[in-house]
Amino acid sequence: MKKFIPVIAGSIALASLSGVAKAENMANNNSGLYVGGNYGYLKVESDDDFDDNNDVVQGIVGYRFNSFLALEGSYIDFGKYGGSAANAETTGYTAALKGTIPITQTVELFAKAGQLWHDTDYNIASVKGSSDDRSLFAGAGVNFKVTENLLVNAQYTWYDVDLNADNVNSDSSFDTDFKQASVGAEYRF
């Protein structure tokens, strides 16, 4: 029995080193540029007349430093939302850090958080105006590899958007949350 203990300990050490080497190999070989796009459902929630459901379209470009970390930017069109008393149309740009955990050879989980810079054209009780602002956002999702370079994904993202309607009255700030559920594709170069 005493002869088997060094063999078992050596086997465990070798398996551990093999796992470390595999993780380092994944981290070193999966860097590079990627592009993608998402299409989905947008739920606008607020304490005012801006509540609505809408389609959302997003174009993405990013750079993966390794298998686990990426820097991602996007252009996003939230479309037109609201009712007859108050409506708005918002577009914007994002920058985010994206963390990815490979689960299997074909499935990855990811989470991202960052900044949204958005422009909103609004119409509140026939008073028109525009607002430029920035907001925080966070999201999570899952990637499925179709090929080594092409992935499809499903994700959920929350944006904390504030609309400042300065020309309506001095205290017109509308706290609005955008909740996006979307599907998309990503191509890695």
- pLDDT band at 174, cuts 50/70/90? low
Overall number of domains in the chain: 2
3-state secondary structure of 118: strand
- pLDDT band at 77, cuts 50/70/90? very high
Same domain, 9 and 81: no
Same domain, 12 and 88: no
Same domain, 1 and 49: no
pLDDT at 5: 54
Same domain, 88 and 133: yes
CATH of the domain at 46: 2.40.160.20
Domain that holds residue 25: 1-30
Of the two residues 77 and 25, the one the predictor is more confident about is 77
Same domain, 23 and 101: no
How far apart are alpha carbons 176 and 118 in whole angstroms?
A: 13
Same domain, 82 and 72: yes
pLDDT at 18: 46
Same domain, 103 and 161: yes
- 36-68: burial string, b at 16+ Cβ within 10 Å, e else: bbbebebbbebeebbebebebbbebebebeebb
pLDDT at 10: 54
Same domain, 90 and 167: yes
Same domain, 131 and 183: yes
Write the pLDDT tens digit of every residue in 15-65. 544 444 444 444 445 899 999 999 999 988 766 666 677 899 999 999 999
- pLDDT band at 170, cuts 50/70/90? very low
Write the pLDDT tens digit of every residue in 107-162. 999 999 999 999 988 887 777 888 888 999 999 999 999 999 999 999 999 998 87
pLDDT at 165 over 70: no
Same domain, 101 and 119: yes
pLDDT at 8 over 60: no
Same domain, 143 and 72: yes
How far apart are alpha carbons 61 and 23 in whole angstroms?
A: 25
Tokens 């909740």 map to which residue?
A: 179
Same domain, 88 and 26: no
pLDDT at 11: 54
